[in-house]
Amino acid sequence: MQHAHIGTEHMLVGLARGDEEAAAMLHRFGLSGDTARAQVVQLVGMGDHAGGGGLPFTPAAKEALEMAVGEAMRVGHEHADSAHLLLAILRQPDAVARRMLISAGAAPRDVRNELIASLSGKPPEPAGPRADGEALLAILGRDGAVAAWLRERGVDEDAVRRMLGEG
């Protein structure tokens, strides 16, 4: 794809091309390695990086790598693997990988819930409005395109806190 960085979208392509639990989950939701690659090209286009040398990770990709260990610990595992990395990627509200899943017809929350259930052997707690409000606050706390889009439509941190009964 000739991009000059490694983002969550590239991680998702790699996960979808694997043969572990994360790949199986992505395949069940309609995202194969080839489909994932096509989604990256559709969403962010082709790059013009000629190659050579190491590529830097985007902040979201770095964060996903760091969060994978926490995801493993949440389900009682001692080691992080591809499934935990997928959980960490799905936790990020404005990552390109989430948009890829949505474009493929999968709801990131559904993928996450099924993966947690598979890893832990028990269904997760239903998310509910509080989790939705907290996800909105996380998005609004960043200076991304989704946060700008929400603010243009009158959704700001104060409005979300009022919805949650905090303000």
CATH number of the domain located at residue range(s) 8-120 in this protein? 1.10.1780.10
Sequence-ordered alpha helix ranges (H) in 121-156: 128-140, 145-152
Query: Range(s) for CATH 1.10.1780.10 in the chain?
Result: 8-120
Residue 144 binned pLDDT confidence (cut-offs 50, 70, 90): confident
pLDDT score of 1: 61
Cα torsion angle, 81, 68, 88, 38, sign: negative
**pLDDT single digits (tens) 95-141:** 888 888 887 777 888 888 888 888 877 655 555 666 677 777 777 77
94 token code pair: 């404005």
Q: Is the pLDDT of residue 149 over 80?
A: no
pTM: 0.68
33 token code pair: 């390695």
Of the two residues 45 and 74, the one the predictor is more confident about is 74
